[in-house]
């Protein structure tokens, strides 16, 4: 009897000391927990709804991988514009500079001219933080319908590396005789040798790192744009010489649009100017199922400043507030952010969860042929994290 009591007591002590050990481990893990300050700008329209699901998934992954998020929300965008006459406050960029990364939903409102929304929020952030790479992958997942015939899952697996701070989006130009019949608008495309070389170099490094087709395709329209895009083409030839193991191809943007539809499986890394990259990635999104699946990262590869992760799609005012927006592009963009900060395993877990949800096809949003709400899709991804 005594023995049994002693035995029980010993077991109790063992399990108690085990519990203390576990608690110690937990405390130690908490102390060593990486903490990241993330600025969250939901922005407009469906941006508000899809970011909700992105944060849901990021919080769920934090529990599993000992990551700590310090999310700080900024209510900037069109509503802020209606109240203050600008999309974000004058010191917004200084405020954002204090953060590790930025997580953005969407910008744009039917009552605000698009150029005001973009030039008031999105583009100044990309420029100020020298996020000169816009990385936009397009992958045809299992279970996703493509409008292209005879294409199977994984046949399309490309990434567009879009130049993100200059080119056709450089804020250079002006009006003359505005409002008069003689009105003139001048829009200058800026192509610097430095800007072309660094984005093209990044593209070659991606082709090496991906280690898939080991190919870089450069896109311009230098037969018609005979100055800036010649600087680009010449930079492409010069940089290509440094990567003799990478296959190269140069296409005019019109041919590239055709080939994204005709032979998308031939592309690996595609490097394009700011405007052409934007246009091509809409094609990339639609041939791989939907804009609702297209993620992006606006990246400063040198990590001097915060990078910004956002879905490719805009604010989609026609479906805002209906609870039917597809949050997957935002969730995958979140995974890109997680990978960028170095939490690779956590990022892979999110990607795998998205793949599982898509492949199972039970909880898909309407743009992918399902009936699930935005929030149900987010919940399904959280469950699929395992
Ligand atoms: N997800 C951010 C957003 O609203 N994007 C829409 C858009 O028009 N983007 C322009 C661009 O990426 O250049």
- Does 338 have pLDDT greater than 60? yes
CA of 69 to the centre of ligand 1 (A): 25
Residue 31: pLDDT band with limits 50, 70, 90: low
Rounded to a whole number of angstroms, the distance between the first and last alpha carbons of the chain is 45
Q: In a mutational test of the pocket of ligand 1, which residue from 117, 122, 326, 336 has the highest number of ligand atoms less than 8 Å from its CB?
A: 122
Residue 6: pLDDT band with limits 50, 70, 90: very low
The residue behind tokens 């005594």 is: 2
Query: Which 3 state secondary structure label does DSSP give 250?
Result: strand
Over residues 246-267, the mean pLDDT reads 98
Residue 230, both tokens: 């010649």
Q: What is the pLDDT of residue 34?
A: 85
Q: What is the pLDDT of residue 7?
A: 38
- Does 255 have pLDDT greater than 60? yes
> Which residues partner with 382 through β-bridges?
none
Q: Which of 4, 44, 287 is nearest to 155 (CA)?
A: 287
pLDDT digits (tens, 9 = 90+) for 174-203: 999 999 999 999 999 999 999 999 999 999
DSSP alpha helix (H) spans, 169-270: 193-210, 228-240, 253-262
Query: Of ligand 1's atoms, which has the minimum distance to the CA of residue 123?
Result: 13
Using a cut of 0.75, tell me whether the model's pTM lies above it: yes
H-helix or E-strand spanning residue 185: strand 184-187
Percent of the chain exceeding pLDDT 90 equals: 90
Query: Which 3 state secondary structure label does DSSP give 155?
Result: coil
Q: What is the pLDDT of residue 25?
A: 62
Residue 28: pLDDT band with limits 50, 70, 90: low
Q: What is the pLDDT of residue 244?
A: 98
Q: What is the pLDDT of residue 33?
A: 80
DSSP alpha helix (H) spans, the chain: 2-32, 46-65, 78-84, 92-96, 114-117, 123-128, 193-210, 228-240, 253-262, 274-287, 328-340, 344-360, 374-384
Over residues 12-25, the mean pLDDT reads 51
> Which of 22-38 are b and which e, b meaning 16 or more Cβ less than 10 Å from the residue's Cβ?
eeeeeeeeeeeeeebeb
> Which residues partner with 39 through β-bridges?
72, 102
Q: What is the pLDDT of residue 5?
A: 33
| Cα angle 204-346-66, degrees, rounded to a multiple of 5 | 135
Query: Which 3 state secondary structure label does DSSP give 33?
Result: coil
Q: What is the pLDDT of residue 12?
A: 43
CA of 313 to the centre of ligand 1 (A): 6
- In angstroms, the Cα distances linking 186 to 116, 171, 174, 183 are 17, 11, 5, 10
The residue behind tokens 């660094």 is: 198
- In angstroms, the Cα distances linking 378 to 92, 267, 355, 356 are 29, 31, 13, 13
Atom 1, ligand 1: which residue's CA is nearest?
Answer: 106
Rg, C-alpha atoms of the chain: 24
Pick the more confident residue, 347 or 5.
Answer: 347
Q: In a mutational test of the pocket of ligand 1, which residue from 40, 162, 312, 327 has the highest number of ligand atoms less than 8 Å from its CB?
A: 312
Mean pLDDT of the chain: 93
Q: What is the pLDDT of residue 18?
A: 52
- Does 16 have pLDDT greater than 50? no
CA of 181 to the centre of ligand 1 (A): 32
- Does 74 have pLDDT greater than 70? yes
Residue 227, both tokens: 């100055």
Strands 101-106 and 133-139: unpaired
Q: Report the pocket of ligand 1 as residue ranges, CB < 6 Å.
A: 104, 106-108, 118, 278, 310-311, 314-315
Q: What is the pLDDT of residue 29?
A: 56
Residue 63: pLDDT band with limits 50, 70, 90: confident
- Which segment of 26-30, 137-141, 209-213, 285-289 scores lowest on mean pLDDT? 26-30
Residue 91: pLDDT band with limits 50, 70, 90: very high
- Does 277 have pLDDT greater than 70? yes
- Does 30 have pLDDT greater than 90? no
CA of 30 to the centre of ligand 1 (A): 37
């Amino acid at each position: 009897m005594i023995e049994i009591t002693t035995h029980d007591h010993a077991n109790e002590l063992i399990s108690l000391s085990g519990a203390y050990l576990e608690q110690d481990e937990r405390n130690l893990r908490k102390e060593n927990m990486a903490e990241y300050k993330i600025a969250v700008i939901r922005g407009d329209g469906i941006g508000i709804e899809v970011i909700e699901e992105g944060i849901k998934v990021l919080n769920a992954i934090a529990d599993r991988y000992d990551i700590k998020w310090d999310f700080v929300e900024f209510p900037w965008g069109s509503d802020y514009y209606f109240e203050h006459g600008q999309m974000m406050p004058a010191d917004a960029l200084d405020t954002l500079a204090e953060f590790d990364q930025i997580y953005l939903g969407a910008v744009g409102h039917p009552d605000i001219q698009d150029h005001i929304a973009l030039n008031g929020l999105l583009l100044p952030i990309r420029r100020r933080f020298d996020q000169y790479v816009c990385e936009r992958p397009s992958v045809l997942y299992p279970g996703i319908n493509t409008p292209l015939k005879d294409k199977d899952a994984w046949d399309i697996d490309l990434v567009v590396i879009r130049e993100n701070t200059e080119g056709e989006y450089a804020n250079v130009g002006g009006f003359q005789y505005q409002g008069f019949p003689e009105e003139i608008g001048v829009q200058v495309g800026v192509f610097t040798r430095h800007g072309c070389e660094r984005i093209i170099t990044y593209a070659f490094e991606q082709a090496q790192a991906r280690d898939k087709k080991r190919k870089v395709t450069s896109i311009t329209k230098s037969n018609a744009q005979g100055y800036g895009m010649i600087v680009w083409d010449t930079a492409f030839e010069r940089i290509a010489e440094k990567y003799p193991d990478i296959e190269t191809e140069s296409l005019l943007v019109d041919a590239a649009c055709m080939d994204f539809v005709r032979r998308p499986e031939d592309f690996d890394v595609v490097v394009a100017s700011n405007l052409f990259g934007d246009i091509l990635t809409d094609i990339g999104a639609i041939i791989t199922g939907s804009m609702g699946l297209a993620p992006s990262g606006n990246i400063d590869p040198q990590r001097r400043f915060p990078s910004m992760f956002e879905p490719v799609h805009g604010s989609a005012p026609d479906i805002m507030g209906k609870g039917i927006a597809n949050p997957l592009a935002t969730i995958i963009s979140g995974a890109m952010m997680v990978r960028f900060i170095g939490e690779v395993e956590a990022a892979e877990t999110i990607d795998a969860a998205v793949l599982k949800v898509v492949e199972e096809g039970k909880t898909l949003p309407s743009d992918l042929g399902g009936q699930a709400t935005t929030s149900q899709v987010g919940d399904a991804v959280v469950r699929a994290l395992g």
